[in-house]
Amino acid sequence: MKRYITVFLLTIAFIINFSPSSFSQDDCCGVGSIFSSLIQSGIFGGYGLQQYSAKGLNDVLPKDVGFKDYSTAWGWRVGANVIQVRQRNILVGLKFYYQSMTESQDRVEQDFTQEITLNLTQWNFGLSLSYIASQAFDIRIFDAYLSWTNAELTNKFKTDNPPEDDVYKSPEASLGFTTDAGIVWYPIPTATFMSLEVLGGYSLFSIDEARLKEGSSSLQAIQDIVDGGGFFAAAVLTVGIPFN
């Protein structure tokens, strides 16, 4: 993982050093040239899926009563393009987002229902590189992020006199790496403040342990509750804030 962090930081340094910064002679400290290259920041939201491997969780699931392996979570993300810089047909940006992905299963018996829910939350911070193909489309060459992931598992019984929910939480965020690519479409080409993106990529992350924080289960911890990330896809709507 240290290798991914090093590559990520070197890439940011490269972008900062070689992005458009040939300041003109007639503005103070090059500020005018900088702002002529900034195109917009903005906020975005989307929905998608995240595949993952959950060996530790799947090993302790009560498979004999119908539960299946956990492997795909669905959920939403919200974030912001902090800053974007354009040079000819190349667009470089710094961005971050938060996402919450959930997979839930239940079994229904005559006098109770048991529901087991795994929620994965993640902060991502990184950069993007796009090629502006036309007024209507950009090609997202890549997004590259450092990610911090937490897990929460809830085992809930619904009955007339239910026991306290068993809640397991990861003690700290797990550091990982996420990358993706895709297509950006501007529904109104003359209004670049709004875009729709379709993205697909891969997340590298794992969560070594989740500990019992609430409840009375005899199982005090789940080791390797998530032992690997996987493919993800998302559709994202962005609303921009133009600088010029």
What are 10-24's pLDDT values in tens digits?
555 555 454 444 333
Whole-model pTM: value is 0.84
Q: H or E segment at 94? A: strand 90-108
DSSP 8-class letter at 71: -
Residue 39 has a pLDDT of 55
Decide which of 27 and 214 is more confident: 214
Residue 18 has a pLDDT of 46
Res. 216: pLDDT tops 70: yes
Decide which of 6 and 16 is more confident: 6
**Mean pLDDT rounded to a whole number for the chain:** 86
The CA distance from 69 to 152, in Å, is: 16
Residue 88 has a pLDDT of 87
The CA distance from 171 to 211, in Å, is: 7
pLDDT digits (tens, 9 = 90+) for 88-136: 899 999 999 999 999 999 999 989 999 999 999 999 999 999 999 998 9
Residue 13 has a pLDDT of 52
Decide which of 13 and 182 is more confident: 182
Pull the structure tokens for residue 153.
């598992």
Average pLDDT of the segment spanning 172-189: 94
Average pLDDT of the segment spanning 169-174: 96
The CA distance from 32 to 45, in Å, is: 31
Residue that has been written with the tokens 């950069």 in this structure: 127
Res. 25: pLDDT tops 70: no
The CA distance from 203 to 46, in Å, is: 17
Res. 154: pLDDT tops 50: yes
CATH code of the domain occupying 40-242 = 2.40.160.20
